[in-house]
A and B are shown apart, each in its own frame.
Chain A
Amino acid sequence: AQSVTQPDIHITVSEGASLELRCNYSYGATPYLFWYVQSPGQGLQLLLKYFSGDTLVQGIKGFEAEFKRSQSSFNLRKPTVHWSDAAEYFCAVGAMVAAGNKLTFGGGTRVLVKP
């Protein structure tokens, strides 16, 4: 069965600094990988996804992520953080199983942005 680990529960970053959120997954086949963002009281918004091809994926809001098969990682990065990036971020791995598509989420990383 697939699983996702986000090692950092909280990260505090200064506005204007860079941000990197870690994600490690466990899955026996080629994974479908996602990063979602959730602002307080809001639903999940897809930031970016990796299905195949170029391992560096560009997303919305200036985010990017790099798939590293050898490390089973899919870390999210942003070069310059804005105060509006304060939110919770979820990494997820998708898989095709007998019952259809399945999406498994990590526990999330809460990002706090200091002025």
Chain B
Amino acid sequence: EAGVAQSPRYKIIEKRQSVAFWCNPISGHATLYWYQQILGQGPKLLIQFQNNGVVDDSQLPKDRFSAERLKGVDSTLKIQPAKLEDSAVYLCASSASGLRSYNEQFFGPGTRLTVL
């Protein structure tokens, strides 16, 4: 079974530029998560989708970050414009639907973003 795919693996941009990350979850997984992991810290949830709907975006800096999952499968996370403090690893994870039971999250390899 294929795992969670993410691209690109690495990205270097200058501040005020835009960047987009892509994630393809495990087939059949209804729930998709984007996490931000700043160096030396644990991952922090940015946004959670259930199919193509947002169920939690309370930690997403909405003035510059946006995410979509239009067809309920793959997802894109965008930053526009980027700031120095956005330098981090962006992790995508997916799980089976978690409405009735707890289901393990499976993580992709991450995208390492450096903002200069």
A106–B42 alpha-carbon span in the complex (Å): 6
Chain A: residues with CB nearer than 8 A to chain B?
4, 32, 34, 36, 41-44, 46, 49, 51, 90, 92, 94-96, 99-103, 105-108
The one of A36, A42, A100, A108 that contacts B31, using a Cβ cutoff of 8 Å: A100
Q: Are B110 and A43 in contact (CB-based, < 8 A)? A: yes
B105: CB under 8 A from chain A?
yes
Cα-based distance from A95 to B48 in the complex (angstroms) = 14
Contacts of B44 in A (CB 8 A): 105
Smallest CB gap from A106: residue in B: B42
Min CB–CB distance A20 → chain B (angstroms): 19
A106 to B41, CA, bound (A): 8
Q: Which residues of B contact A100 (CB under 8 A)?
A: 31, 48, 50, 55-56, 97-99
Contact of A101 among B43, B103, B109, B112 (CB under 8 A): B103
When A42-B109, A43-B107, A43-B110 are in contact, do A99 and B102 touch as well, CB less than 8 Å?
no
Whether A107 and B107, one on each chain, are in contact in the complex, defined by CB atoms closer than 8 angstroms, is no
Closest chain A residue, CB of each to CB of B6? A43
State the CA gap A51–B40 with chains docked (Å).
Answer: 27
